[in-house]
Structure 1
Amino acid sequence: MTSEAPLYKNHALLLSQSFFIKDNKDELLLHAHKYDFDITFFSEVSDFAHAVEASGNNSLFVIDLDALHNMQADMQSSRKTLMLGELLARLPGGHSYVYLQSVRQGGRFLLQQRLVDSDCLAYAEKPIANDVLVDKLFNLFVQKKRGDLVRLMYLGDAAQLDGAALLEQRVEVLSHDDAHTLHLRVKDLQPDIVLIADAEYERTEAIVRVLKKNIEADPVREIVLLQHRVDVELTRRALASGFDGTIPLVSPELLTAQLVNRANKIRVSKDLIGKDRATGLLNKVGLQKKAQELIRRAAREGVPLSFGVVDIDKFKTINDTWGHYFGDIVIKRLSLTLASQVGEADLLSRFGGEEFVVVFWDCPLEEGRRRLDAMREAFGAIPFEVRPGEVRRFSFSGGVAAYPEYKTENELFLRADAMLYEAKQGGRNQIRIAPNR
């Protein structure tokens, strides 16, 4: 495939023994490409170090420690084993590394200590199956990203939270002062963390049960008690009533650090639950939650939304003619084409298979049609090399419906999907819009 934009957004550099690379390269690449990252293999420390220094932000650096036995400390040395300290000294600073080690190496605590004290992002024991290794690396890519904004709703005195410091770490504080209406506020704004001061809990002990028993409660959301004083009995009652944890208020700095740590874990969980692993876009679960939030926001602010559904034309023929692996490449390239033309407030999802959904914020119907049509033209202009010297271009069809003409996420999807069907029936490679009621 020929394109100026890189096919894979993320990149892993792997330093390993030559026989390991030879035996595992093809399978590792196959799994990695499904998870939307590429792998470059190295057998020499100097080449690996230069590549690390030249790499971008979307990279992981992986070192197989068994490779030490096949590397020389320098070209003049007759010694064939490179010592760990020599390897660590030759690695570029300012980067974190993933180390693969044998079970024997994993049993040496001092070795683990040496690694974690030397810019270690993570370590893993071998043997490890190629698909498991790739899955773990994908999780690390997720963790490295700064991620979406995490919303924290606080019931208590907001002056106790350092809102500016939290916002700098992508945690937005939403204050509330009435325990009896907290459940309504949570339902409306869908925060990721609910922090409740101990005094508020003691006044209204049913508050957590009311939040937890709602059938629409987000299973990822954490409800945490902020304790101004140590009280074992209060902590016991709080945990029994449904709190996910407690945080003692020792100092504002420690409170901020603990909340940021919780936010980071929630962010990773949301990414793993709500993101499509092949493209990194929202999946069906993630889209549903985000679209519902966007519709509620549009209702509050009185702005229109355009909801588009697109589907690659004759995708079964693509798979049957050039194989499913090539079909995956077409899907990934479409995801990058769509992603390059959505705004920060828009939503983009791989809804399933070759079907994608895009939601344009503050966008009336006709403008939504124009924007989706521009995406269609951009995708149609991409040359795909299906065989050496043979280039093909592909297309997609789409349908668009608008809020507030249609009020719910499900209604918008069904109407846009009906328009997509009309576009397919009308000859494909076109966009149809839902007429006014």
Structure 2
Amino acid sequence: MASDAPLYKNQVMLLSQSFFIKDNQAELQLHAHKYDFDFRFFNEVWEFVEAVVCDRGHSLFVIDLDALHNMQSDMADSRKTLMLSELLQRLPQDQSYVYLQSARQGGRFLLQQRLVDSNCLAYAEKPIANDVLVDKLFNLFVQRKRGDLVRLMYLGEPVGLDDGALMHRRLEVIHHADAQTLHLRVKELQPDMVLITEAEYARTEAIVRVLKKNIEADPVREIMLLQRHPDAGVTERALHSGFDDILMLTDPGVLASQLVNRANKIRINKDLIGKDRATGLLNKVGLQKKAQDLIRRAARENRPLAFGVVDIDKFKTINDTWGHYFGDIVIKRLALTLAPSMGEDDLLSRFGGEEFVMVFWDCTLEQGWEKMDALRQAFGAIPFEVKPGDVRRFSFSGGVAAYPEYKSENELFLRADAMLYEAKQGGRNRICQRPAG
């Protein structure tokens, strides 16, 4: 297939000579492609080290420790076994590594200590199923991403947090002064965490119950009490009221570190729950939350939105004719066609199967149609070599709706989906839109 964009943006570099890995390369690759990354296999240390040095920051580096027994040292005595210390000396020190080890190796605590003190990103015990290994490596890719902004709503007197430094670490602090309007502000901005000082809680004990009992409340939002001094009675009442945790204000720097650690976990969980693993795009769950947030923002700022739904034409025929693996490649290539055209405030989701959803910020119905039609033409121009000498091109159909003509995320989707159906019925390979009325 001809294309400038690589099909998989991330890769795993694996140093191994073991029977377990070598006989499973094809299966490992197949699983990895479903998670938007690719494997490169190495059986020589010098080649592996060279690849690590040349990497541009999109890779994980995995070392099978059993390979050491089959790699000749280039030291003077030419031992057949490469010592771990020699390997660690050769590895670039500005990178971190994932180590695969046997159960016997895993039982030696001093070895574990040596690994975790030597640029170890993670370690895993073999035997490990290929699909499990790939899933765990995908999780490491997610953890290394800078990720989305996490939002903290703070109620109470300032305690010395450095809001700028926290923003640099992707944690936005929003200060609010009035306990009796906090629930309205939380509903409007949908923060991931809420931190309430004990002074504010003492003045308005019902505050957390008001936040929690709202049927639209985010069930994974963390609401925390900030105490200056330990008080078992206050702690017990706060937890009984619905607070998720109690933080102690010992030092602003310590508090900031605690909040950043929580934000990192929230961010990872949101990525794992809200992202499609094969394309890295939002999935249905992730889209719903972000689309609702974008609609609320559009209402506040009086901006239009265009909401588009697209579906690959005759996708079942593609799968039946050339196989599901080829169908996955067509889906991946469509994702790579759509993603570069999305603005910073736009949303792109693999909604399910071969269906994608786009939300364009500050965009009218007509402008949304123009953007989607340009993408339709770009995708239709991509040549797919289905077999040597046999090149095909594929298409998608789409429908578009607009806010504020349609007010909610559900209304926008249903209208755009109806327009998609009209495009399919009208002959496919087209984008349909009609003003409401």
Question: Residue 215 of structure 1: CA displacement?
Answer: 2.4
> What does residue 139 of structure 1 align with?
139
Whole-Å Cα distance in 1 between the matches of residues 308 and 75 of structure 2?
A: 59
1:81 Cα deviation from its structure 2 partner:
1.0
Equivalent in the alignment of 1:221: 221
Higher alpha-carbon deviation: 311-320 or 119-128: 119-128
Write the deviation string for residues 40-93 of structure 1: whole angstroms up to 9, x where unpaired: 011111111111111122211111111111111118653111111111111112
Residue 285 of structure 1 and its aligned partner are, at CA, apart by: 0.8
**Does residue 1:41 correspond to 2:49, yes or no?**
no
Provide the residue aligned with 2:395 in structure 1: 395
Deviation at residue 232 of structure 1 after TM alignment: 2.6
Equivalents in 1 of 2:20, 2:4: separation in Å? 32
**Residues paired across the two proteins, number:** 437
One-letter code aligned to 2:33: H
Counterparts of 2:43 and 2:120, CA distance in 1: 20
Partner of 1:58: 58
The 2-side partners of 1:265 and 1:343 are apart by 27
Distance 2:10 2:203 in 1: 50
Whole-angstrom CA distance in 2 between matches of 1:240 and 1:79: 65
> In structure 2, how many angstroms separate the alpha carbons of the residues matched to 1:401 and 1:159?
46
Quote the residue 2:339 is aligned against: 339
Distance 2:421 2:198 in 1: 55
Q: 1:330 is aligned with what amino acid?
A: V
Please state whether the residue corresponding to 1:250 is helix, strand or coil. Answer: coil
Aligned-residue Cα RMSD (Å) equals 1.3
Give the letter aligned to residue 101 of structure 1. Answer: Q
Cα separation, 2, equivalents of 1:197 and 1:81: 60
Stretch of structure 1 that moved more, 236-245 or 318-327 = 236-245
Distance 1:108 1:31 in 2: 31
2:58 and 2:98 mapped to 1: Cα distance? 14
Alignment match, 2:315: 315
Query: What SS is found at the alignment partner of 1:340?
Result: helix
Aligned residues of 1:18 and 1:43 also touching (Cα < 8 A): no
Q: Aligned residue for 1:124?
A: 124
* Partner AA of 2:100 in structure 1: L
Aligned to 1:15: 15
Tell me the equivalent position of 1:236.
236
1:92 and 2:84 correspond: no
2:279 partner amino acid: T
CA distance in 2, matches of 1:76, 1:366: 73
Residue 126 of structure 1: CA displacement?
A: 1.1
Matches of 1:236 and 1:17 in 2, distance apart? Answer: 56
Return the alpha-carbon distance in structure 2 between the equivalents of residues 84 and 179 of structure 1: 58
Answer yes or no: is the 8 Å Cα contact 2:159–2:252 preserved in 1.
Answer: no
Identify the residue that residue 297 of structure 1 maps to in structure 2: 297
Q: Give 2:343's aligned amino acid.
A: G
Say if 2:363 is the partner of 1:359. no
Contact 1:416 1:434 (C-alpha < 8 Å) held by counterparts: no
**1:267 Cα deviation from its structure 2 partner:** 0.2
Report the AA paired with residue 263 of structure 2.
A
The answer to whether the Cα contact below 8 Å between 1:415 and 1:434 also exists between their aligned partners in 2 is no
> Distance in 2 between the 1:370 and 1:158 partners?
48
Match of 2:273?
Answer: 273
Given that 1:304 and 1:363 are in contact with CA atoms closer than 8 Å, whether structure 2 keeps it comes out as: yes
CA contact (8 A) 1:399 1:434 kept: no
Give the match for residue 187 of structure 1: 187
1:158 counterpart SS class: coil
> What is the CA–CA distance in structure 1 between the aligned matches of 2:214 and 2:104, rounded to whole Å?
49
Counterpart check, 1:432 vs 2:432: yes
Distance in structure 2 (CA, Å) of the matches to 1:329 and 1:352: 15
Q: Contact 2:18/2:66 (CA < 8 Å) preserved in 1?
A: no
Task: Find the counterpart in structure 1 of residue 422 from structure 2.
Answer: 422
Aligned 8 A contact 2:365 2:400 in 1: yes
Cα distance between partner residues in 2 of 1:167 and 1:6: 32
> C-alpha separation between the residues in 2 aligned to 1:77 and 1:421?
73
Aligned equivalents of 1:308, 1:178: Cα separation in 2: 39
Gaps of 5+ in 1: none
State the distance in 2 between where 1:66 and 1:210 align. Answer: 57
The alpha-carbon distance between structure 1 residues 399 and 19, as it changes in their structure 2 partners (threshold 3 A), is same
Q: Please say which of residues 17-26 and 196-205 is displaced more in the overlay.
A: 17-26
In 2, Cα distance between equivalents of 1:68 and 1:224: 49
Give the superposition deviation at 1:100. Answer: 0.9
Query: Structure 2: which amino acid aligns with 1:195?
Result: L
State the partner residue of 2:207.
Answer: 207
Paired residues for 1:62-81 under 5 Å: 62-74=62-74, 77-81=77-81
CA contact under 8 A between 1:220 and 1:270: conserved in structure 2?
Answer: no
The structural deviation recorded for 1:262 is 0.5
Report how far residue 22 of structure 1 moved.
2.4
Q: Whole-Å Cα distance in 2 between the matches of residues 130 and 227 of structure 1?
A: 47
SS class of match (1:307) = strand
Secondary structure of 1:277's counterpart equals: coil
Preserved CA contact (<8 Å) 1:226 1:246: yes
Q: Tell whether 2:110 aligns with 1:110.
A: yes
Q: Tell me, in whole angstroms, the C-alpha distance in 1 between the residues paired with 2:436 and 2:264.
A: 43
Within 1, Cα distance between the matches of 2:408 and 2:109? 55
- TM-score by length of structure 2 reads 0.97
State how far apart, in whole Å, the 1-side matches of 2:127 and 2:112 are. Answer: 17
Q: What is the alpha-carbon distance in structure 1 between the residues aligned to residue 378 and residue 75 of structure 2?
A: 50
Which segment is superposed worse, 92-101 or 224-233? 224-233
* d(CA) in 2 for partners of 1:147, 1:2: 31
In structure 2, what is the equivalent of residue 6 of structure 1? 6
Distance 1:54 1:242, change over 3 A: same
Residue 389 of structure 1 deviates from its aligned partner by: 2.1
**Alignment check: 8 A CA contact 1:406 1:412 kept:** yes
**CA–CA separation in structure 1 for the residues paired with 2:309 and 2:392:** 24
Alignment identity in percent?
77
Is the CA contact (8 Å cut-off) linking 1:397 and 1:431 kept in structure 2?
Answer: yes
- Letter of the 1:130 partner, please give it: N
* One-letter amino acid matched to 1:395: S
The one-letter amino acid of 1:81's match is T
- Provide the rounded CA distance (Å) in 2 between the counterparts of 1:34 and 1:77: 45
**TM-score of the pair, normalised by structure 1:** 0.97
Q: Give 1:260's aligned residue.
A: 260
